[in-house]
Structure 1
Amino acid sequence: MNNHTDSYYADSILNVSEYPQLRDDIECDVCVVGAGFSGLSSALHLAKKGFKVVVLENAKVGFGATGRNGGQIVNSYSRDVDVLESRYKPEQAKALCDMIFEGGDIIRGLINEYNIDCDFKQGGMFTALTNKQMRGLEEHKKNWERYGNNDLSIMSASDVESAVGTKAYKGALLDMRGGHIHPLKLALGEAQAITSLGGRIFEQSGVTRVEKGANPVAHTEHGSVKAKYIVLAGNAYLGGLAPNISNKAIPCGTQVVATEPLSEEQLEQILPSDYCVEDSNYLLDYFRLSADKRLLFGGGVVYGARDPENIEALIRPKMEKVFPQLKGIGIDYKWTGNFLLTYSRMPQFGSFADNIYYLQGYSGHGVTCTHLAGKLLAEALAGHAERFDAFASLTHIAFPGGRHFAIPMTAMGAAYYSLRDKLAI
């Protein structure tokens, strides 16, 4: 529990910064619980505004989904412009849509500002397996262009074959404001930026309870942090620390494999564009090349965040269907990571007791939206809560029947939509 999972990301970092365990009773302005992207972005943006910040992490910086995801910079939220504009009042929908590209901009800005070496590559593709999905991508392009993304282009099937190296797709939407990174390197770089600004990070310092009050206190096994504000940013790894928010989302697992490094001959065929790719299915597949030219391929969802017995058996057939030329290739790494799924598929930001805030529930769009979340949280604590409140005012309900009933019901719903994808209806 206290070390990184056995992933390609963890194994590819030679010098990982070690942070101490909290063994004192200390004070600060803001105590952030969780050193994933939500917590790191919050702490970094707060530190830039002059707040005295402490981050408490149960395991290691980037231990959870932050250090295990597909590494793709995908814009927007799990529900996009069409749903937002149909579901919410015009002024609220516009406020949310105006921020759909900001998370990616924040990531690129931090990389440049703090010289974070995280293998950043520009360009991300959304691919269509059916004519219906292709029409959806064309509409998607129009919606995103209405909100200022003019770095989009439609690709034909032959364009996709040239860029990706597969005949599996009818076409694609290319977003040059997307891209991909080594997520654990990004997290570690952000942690170093926090400490350079005077922030303090403690690992192996899981919070056992939060004591409410005018100055709330986060207690760990060996110490405590008294603060003006506490930010709960543990997401799927928050545990039972705050049942009143944990019961409004369910943890889900997604699986990723990393192949052996591809040969020069294979690289002429597999992703010569070096873009990242995700398809348009309900249970989507996603893939990209690592800096050392492995194919990282992920997909599927395990509801309830169970670790499947055989990750390779789940992913290899998907990978070889897209790239039959890789049939039998060696897989060097395979791992799973948990994200938090909300009923509305929109992230949950808010506060209780006036000085305890929470950020969670990105529903599979965490890389970019977590970075936006941290910036909005810092704005709110600095007295400018308008943009934070655009999310905090969203209504969130628990899954019908509670979390344990929700897991099989959600899996059944996913199976239904997956069948629709296969039947192209």
Structure 2
Amino acid sequence: MPEPPALPPLRGELRADVAILGAGYTGLTAALELALRGQRVVVLEAQRIGWGASGRNGGQALVGYGCEVDELERQLGREDARRLFDWSREAVQAMRARIDRHGIECHWVEGHASVAIRARHERDLRANCEHLQRHYDYPMQWWERDTLRGQLDSPRYRAAMFDPLSAHLHPLAYARGLADAARAAGVVIHEQSPVTRIQRGAHAVLHTDHGSVRAPQLVVAGNALLQGLVPELERRIMPVGTYIGASAPLGAERARALIGNNMAVSDTAWALDYFRLSHDHRLLFGGRASYSALPPPGLHRVMQRRMHEVFPQLADIPLQQVWGGYVDITRNRAPHWGRLDGNVYFAQGFSGHGVAAAGLAGEVIAEAIVGQSERLDVFQRLRHAPFPGGRLLRMPLLVAAMSWYKLRDALW
């Protein structure tokens, strides 16, 4: 996408009803919903709109959360787990309605398949499909190998759980469209305004090098990029690098021969691959998570090889671009949303499943700020343990754990 002119950085002192840190899906959705309810909102973004996970992700807007429903049931019971799941379903519908209402051009396409590589994956995936059909009244479909091959021309996969309601879209176009809608509703957004300090109290203050925003309500939507601003939140998430590439253009006929119904796809391995077609007939292929501060060695070469393993017929097609960024994961992969000090609201822990859920978080937080906290109260009951090892050891411990899961996927 062409880069639009930058919005001016913060200069001087501002007052608002609500201050928001971060111009990604959570912050922008909260800002839009609050402005439509008559609140004065100021958003501070350290870089550009959608610069973090909201603009770099694979564009898969999925029903559900980073964890399976059994984790929600274990903590909340099936009734409240069902409520959370239904809210995620409504969140995808709300995204589509928001796109239509505000005329956001972001290439929305419905349909997503979770695909199994090994027999163990197939058993687990089918059990999850049947559980969602039986206990959540969700129109999930089970596809055996022949049905799957009729839509996905790859020999790699055994079966699929097909979700007709989840979707995919151009992630940065959606983020920028949200920002345009929020600004049209009266929201003030300052780009290139990194927050250096948060002053908490009856009125929270976001400080930058050149100004400040004071407000009685604060939304922290920095995801994996808080960088020491709220330590009690950061202890409960881990930044994980994730990467995606775009192939050379395939042309409409060759692209549709790969994925006949134009669905998005992700496999069920621990170190998963995910992919979809773009509106200009490229294959977008993601994976290769990094659990350290460095990109994996030979990233472009490895991702291109993985793409060719999934689609051998693309052996002549290179990846033209590869990019990445950080997502935030919690230990149990469940969403971590709530409030601190009574007037500091936050949402984090999307665990690679945040395109639709981050918008839901923005809606839920906006409701709570204007006095309707029922949904946020349910999310806040989810418990989240900090990552072990403190700042020095938590990343090496996670790398060791991930190595075990990758080995298990490779062996059985």
Question: What's the TM-score once normalised by structure 2's chain length?
Answer: 0.95
SS in 2 for 1:308: coil
SS in 1 for 2:213: strand
Aligned to 2:39: 51
Q: Determine the C-alpha separation between the residues in 2 that align with 1:275 and 1:81.
A: 23
Q: Determine the C-alpha separation between the residues in 1 that align with 2:191 and 2:29.
A: 17
SS in 1 for 2:63: coil
The 5 Å alignment of 1:32-181 reads 32-145=20-133, 146-150=135-139, 152-181=140-169
Aligned to 2:236: 248
Q: Determine the C-alpha separation between the residues in 2 that align with 1:300 and 1:143.
A: 29
What amino acid maps onto 2:136 in structure 1?
Y
Measure how far apart 1:258 and its partner are. Answer: 0.5
Q: 1:357 aligns with which of 345, 358, 362?
A: 345
Aligned to 1:8: none
Compared CA separation, residues 17 and 148, structure 1 to 2 (3 A): farther
Q: Is the 8 A contact 2:44 2:190 kept in 1?
A: yes
Q: Determine the C-alpha separation between the residues in 2 that align with 1:114 and 1:230.
A: 26
Q: Is the 8 A contact 1:25 1:225 kept in 2?
A: yes
Q: Is the 8 A contact 1:103 1:370 kept in 2?
A: no
Q: Determine the C-alpha separation between the residues in 1 that align with 2:11 and 2:405.
A: 49
Question: What's the TM-score once normalised by structure 1's chain length?
Answer: 0.92
Q: 1:415 aligns with which of 370, 395, 403?
A: 403
Measure how far apart 1:227 and its partner are. Answer: 0.6
Q: Is the 8 A contact 1:119 1:181 kept in 2?
A: yes
Aligned to 1:386: 374
Compared CA separation, residues 39 and 153, structure 1 to 2 (3 A): same
SS in 2 for 1:175: strand
SS in 1 for 2:357: helix
Q: Is the 8 A contact 2:145 2:157 kept in 1?
A: yes
Residue deviations 1:9-30, cap 9 Å, x none? xxxx236253111112111110
Aligned to 2:192: 204
Q: Determine the C-alpha separation between the residues in 1 that align with 2:106 and 2:297.
A: 31
Aligned length: 411
Residue deviations 1:113-146, cap 9 Å, x none? 1111101111111111123322322222233233
What amino acid maps onto 1:189 in structure 2?
G
What amino acid maps onto 1:117 in structure 2?
E
Measure how far apart 1:358 and its partner are. Answer: 1.4
Measure how far apart 1:111 and its partner are. Answer: 0.8
SS in 2 for 1:370: helix
Q: Determine the C-alpha separation between the residues in 2 that align with 1:213 and 1:173.
A: 48
Compared CA separation, residues 366 and 404, structure 1 to 2 (3 A): farther
Aligned to 2:307: 319
SS in 1 for 2:198: strand
2:276 aligned with 1:279, yes or no? no
Q: Is the 8 A contact 1:305 1:338 kept in 2?
A: no
Aligned to 2:216: 228
5+ residue gaps, structure 2: none
Percent pairwise identity: 38
Q: Determine the C-alpha separation between the residues in 2 that align with 1:95 and 1:327.
A: 45
Aligned to 1:5: none
Q: Determine the C-alpha separation between the residues in 2 that align with 1:274 and 1:383.
A: 41
Q: Is the 8 A contact 1:81 1:143 kept in 2?
A: no
Q: Is the 8 A contact 1:157 1:167 kept in 2?
A: no
Q: 2:281 aligns with which of 269, 290, 293?
A: 293
Q: Determine the C-alpha separation between the residues in 2 that align with 1:358 and 1:267.
A: 40
Q: Is the 8 A contact 1:22 1:202 kept in 2?
A: yes
Compared CA separation, residues 268 and 200, structure 1 to 2 (3 A): closer
Measure how far apart 1:91 and its partner are. Answer: 4.6
What amino acid maps onto 2:248 in structure 1?
E
Q: Determine the C-alpha separation between the residues in 2 that align with 1:245 and 1:264.
A: 45
Residue deviations 1:287-306, cap 9 Å, x none? 00111011110012101342
Aligned to 1:25: 13
Aligned to 2:170: 182
Moved more, 282-291 or 99-108: 99-108
